[in-house]
Amino acid sequence: MNVELGKNEGTALSWEILQSQTQLCSLYQEQVLYLLVEIRPATAAPGERLPLNLCLVVDRSTSMQGARLEHVKEAAYQIIDGLHDDDALAVVTFNDRANIVLPSQPGASRAYAKAKISTMSASGGTEIFQGMQAGLAEVEKHHNEQVISHMILLTDGQTYGDEEACLAEARLAGVRHIGISAMGIGEDWNDALLDEIAAQSGGVSAYIASPGQVYTFLQERVRGLGSLFAQALTLELQCADGVQVEALFRTSPYLERLTLTGSVANLGILQADAPLAVVLEIGVTHKPPGEHGLLQLELAGNIPSLGRQGDKLQHDVHCTFTSDEPPTEPVPPAMRSALSKATIYRMQEQAWHALDGGDVKGATRRLEMMATRLFDLGEIQLARSAMLEAGRIAQGGAPTAKGRKELKYGTRSLTIASRRKSYD
Amino acid sequence: MIECPSCGRKHRPGTLFCSECGVYLPTGGPLRTEPLPEEELPVSRANPWASEPVEEPSEPTPIPLCIRVVATGRQIQLPATAEVHIGRLDAAHGIFPDLDLSPDGGLEGGVSRHHCKIHQRGSAYLVEDVGSANGTFLDGQRLTPYLPHVLKDGDELQLGRVKLEVIIRE
């Protein structure tokens, strides 16, 4: 195990980097090395949080009628009650077109805002792009580097034909440092699209199984934004020859597969109260005995509360190659725990991938294996869902949309929800 | 190349988790029930011949048998089947015990996937260890594997480190 602490002076970010091994063997053609990067604030954030600049973008298509829309209204009232005087909140609804229910305005009267929200009613179809465009325009009104700008998108349906436009809008938001939280209610929404919207903008996506959970999810999100320490965090990875980053996962505060754009991964925000952890799986090809530099990590981000932009940390990962088999090094418990969860998430991805490719047997086996691992973690509910879906598939049926989403988003929140802290 | 002890898939050196079955490769666990240190388990052995011989009544009367997990307080009414298997669920290997102790810390507690079984003979219940890794204990005494022992109301069963209370109420 190798522990490296961030030591670059004058930055408000700190990190700890753990390696699964510090010694590799020159005898092997190819081997695997893991890194766990834990990022934390180096200094305490100022007591007062930055003003929030929020926009709630709500699907008001016919399917939202009844409990769903009522719960959204209820949740919005609660958010309004929790806002500070200098926070701005806008509410936009959309079906086939967008409607600005509450224009963005800091310090707006709470009673007025609630009265406006109470008028929301459901009808029509779902065109997410319309809502996103109007919502982002509202956020832009009061957007600057001294506020936390964020859009929360709530939908329960599929959008047709405007997916590309939605993603372009999300990319634009990402560039402007406006995060988007995309939340799907019920089963009939496009998880691939919402995941991508969130990833492009540096936000998160979530699955809300029942309308009753809307409040919890929104509250949690707004609380998370309130404790924001750094934003626009990026991790750049420069690999030496014969070294390749094969997989990259964020494992805390929630689990997500990260994608590299060139050599850069967008990490989104760092909360003051929850460390941001990333695991890397790295393939290393044969090298002669001696010490070798494998890759260089560079973390960059903005810390709005301190008025700092482009804070940077750098670290070089080295390994000693030995001509004999090196001694076994203990795996840090934090790394083992993070990897165990990422492994389950991957098994779930592979199961659906196998199923989509027509490999019913492979998908069933993977879901069953995944159930075993979930039982080991004490995640009984999720494990049962996996068994249920495996059974359904094995008998020639299709997996339910509910089960599929439950497993995907359930395994993703393993790092938060796990009742047992460690893997063993 | 290293081989997964559970599914046999080959991986590059340094790999920590099997991508196929999710097993932690350095120990092959947590599928495997790890042996507990000797000093953590009671030492005395139960004498199978000491208990009263079970009479065979002409007509068996079903008596409800309940098991209470001491640590978690979970109480389970056992199904009225001829044999009740107790252990730890492992879906991947098709092991589905009637009473699964995974939610009660079965893995850390050293409960095997096939740990013991309880069966009814006449009006009596008998417990039998089925070759578990860490043993089954009845009132602090280790049972000889595959030898049935009579269970009474209030008995303490211990599977590895996990303690269970037997409740038989007519």
A92 lies in the same domain as A188? yes
Q: Establish if B9 touches chain A: CB-CB under 8 angstroms.
A: no
Contacts of residue B78, defined as CB under 8 A and 6 or more positions apart, other chains included, come to B65, B66, B67, B84, B98, B99, B118
End-of-domain residue from the set A322, A350, A374: A322
Residues A136 and A260 in one domain: no
Say if A115 falls within a structural domain: yes
Q: Indicate whether A424 belongs to any domain.
A: no
**Are B17 and A340 inside 8 Å of each other by CB?**
yes
Task: For residue A66, give how far its alpha carbon lies from the nearest alpha carbon of chain B (Å).
Answer: 37
- Distance, CA of A83 to CA of A73 (rounded, Å): 16
Residues A41 and A86 placed together within one structural domain of the fold:
no
Residue ranges making up the domain that contains A243: 2-46+228-322
ipTM of the complex: 0.81
Is residue A346 domain-resident? yes
Contact A21 B14 (CB under 8 A): yes
Structural domain boundaries of chain B? 1-31, 65-168
C-beta atoms of A383 and B91 within 8 A: yes
Residue for token digits 């081989």? B3
In this complex, do B13 and A376 lie within 8 Å of one another by their Cβ atoms? no
Closest by CA position to A339, among listed A282, A382, A279 = A279
Tens-digit pLDDT profile for residues A310-349: 889 999 999 999 988 888 888 888 898 889 889 999 999 9
Tokens linked to B116: 């013991």
Residue A421 has pLDDT above 50, yes or no: no
Q: Answer whether B8 touches A (CB < 8 Å).
A: no
A253-304 pLDDT, tens digit each: 888 888 888 898 888 888 888 889 999 999 999 899 999 999 999 999 988 8
pLDDT digits (tens, 9 = 90+) for B39-89: 777 766 666 555 555 555 555 556 678 899 998 888 888 887 778 899 998
Q: Token digits for A281?
A: 């799986």
**A187 and A236 fall within a common domain:** no
Last residue of a domain, one of A298, A322, A346: A322
Contacts with A366 from chain B: Cβ below 8 Å: 20
Are residue A193 and residue A94 in the same domain, yes or no?
yes
Answer whether residue A61 is part of any domain.
yes
Q: State residue A31's pLDDT score.
A: 93
Q: Pick the more confident residue, A130 or A326.
A: A130
CB of A380 within 8 Å of a chain B CB? The answer is yes
pLDDT in the model for residue B143:
86
Q: Are residues A178 and A302 in the same domain?
A: no
pLDDT score of A102: 92
The CA distance from A266 to A269, in Å, is 9
Report the chain A residue with the minimal C-alpha distance to residue B106. Answer: A376
| Same domain flag for A298 and A172 | no
pTM metric for this prediction:
0.70
- Evaluate whether residue A241 is within a structural domain: yes
Neighbours of A261 (CB within 10 A): 10
The reply to whether A422 falls in a domain is no
Q: What angle do CA A145, A150, A154 make, to 5 degrees?
A: 170
Residue A327 domain-assigned?
Answer: no
Please give the Cα distance from A126 to A158 (Å, whole number).
7
Is the same domain home to A108 and A34? no
**How does DSSP assign A292-321, residue by residue?**
EEEEEEEEEEEEGGGTEEEEEEEEEEEEEE
Contact state of B13 with A25 under an 8 Å Cβ cutoff: yes
Name which residue leads in pLDDT, A45 or B156.
B156
Residues A277 and A384 in one domain: no
* Interface touch B14/A31, C-beta < 8 Å: yes
DSSP state of B91: G
How many Å apart are CA A217 and CA A157, to the nearest integer? 18
Domain contains A140: yes
Same structural domain, A80 and A209: yes
Q: Which CATH number does the domain housing residue A233 bear?
A: 2.60.40.3670
Q: What is the identity of the amino acid at A45?
A: A
Tell me the nearest-neighbour CA distance from B160 into chain A, angstroms: 16
* DSSP code per residue over A58-71: EE-SGGGTTHHHHH
Domain closes at, from A290, A322, A354 = A322
A20: chain B residues, CB-CB within 8 Å: 14, 16
Non-local (6+) Cβ contacts of A235 within 8 A are A37, A264, A265, A267, A278, A297, A298, A299
Domain count, chain A: 3
Which of A364, A369, A381, A384 would best serve as a mutation to test chain B binding (most B beta carbons within 10 A)?
Answer: A369
pLDDT (0 to 100) of residue B133: 84
Domain B65-168 is of which CATH architecture?
Answer: Sandwich (2.60)
A37 at B interface, C-beta within 8 A:
no
Bridge partners (DSSP) of residue A168 are none
Give the tokens for residue A362.
């492979």
Nearest-angstrom CA–CA distance, A267 and A300? 10
Task: Pick from A16-20, A105-109, B117-121 the range whose average pLDDT is largest.
Answer: A16-20
Question: Which CATH number is A142's domain given?
Answer: 3.40.50.410
- Do A188 and A299 fall into the same domain? no
- Pick the more confident residue, A372 or A103: A103
**Token pair 């080991």 is at which residue?**
A376
Q: Check if A343 contacts B (Cβ < 8 Å).
A: yes
Taking the C-alpha atoms of residue B20 and residue B10, their distance in angstroms, rounded to an integer, is: 10
Q: Are residues A24 and A165 in the same domain?
A: no
Give pLDDT, residue B46: 66
Beta strand B99-100 with B83-87 is: parallel
